Amino acid sequence: MNPHFEYQGTVRQATLAAQRALEQAGLQVLRSFELLGHGPGDRLCPHHGTRQCACQYTVLLVYPASGPPAAVTSHSNGGHARLEIVLDPNTIPDSVLVNQILGALGSATGDLP
């Protein structure tokens, strides 16, 4: 299971607080993807099974001073957000970087409503 943090708030609130905390920890953050729901359509929301998806999803690439980045995703629906460090077995991020991210995200909990 990927390390994660649960927050009350929108994906925007969680992402901004996380980005601030990661940058304060000396890491560089690049928002590489953002999805704000796909609206009505023929497909069901893959997470909630509803016709109109209200999910929000963001991917942050978090870079250390040198070396490859780690991906942090933020997914929310209905005022609840989950920030998760992606541990893809094909590109596992450096354990030192993961620990830096965990510490920074843990400190961000006070920044959220």
What single string gives the DSSP state of each residue in the chain? ---EEEEES-HHHHHHHHHHHHHHTT-EEEEEEEEE--BSSSSPPTTT--SSB--EEEEEEEE-SSS--EEEEEEESSSEEEEEE---TTSPPPHHHHHHHHHHHHHGGGG--
- pTM for the full predicted model: 0.81
Q: Where are the domains of the chain?
A: 4-111
* CATH class of the domain whose range is 4-111: alpha beta
**Which tens digits make up the pLDDT trace of 70-108?**
999 988 877 788 889 998 888 888 999 999 999 998 876
**Which tens digits make up the pLDDT trace of 46-65?**
566 666 666 788 899 999 99
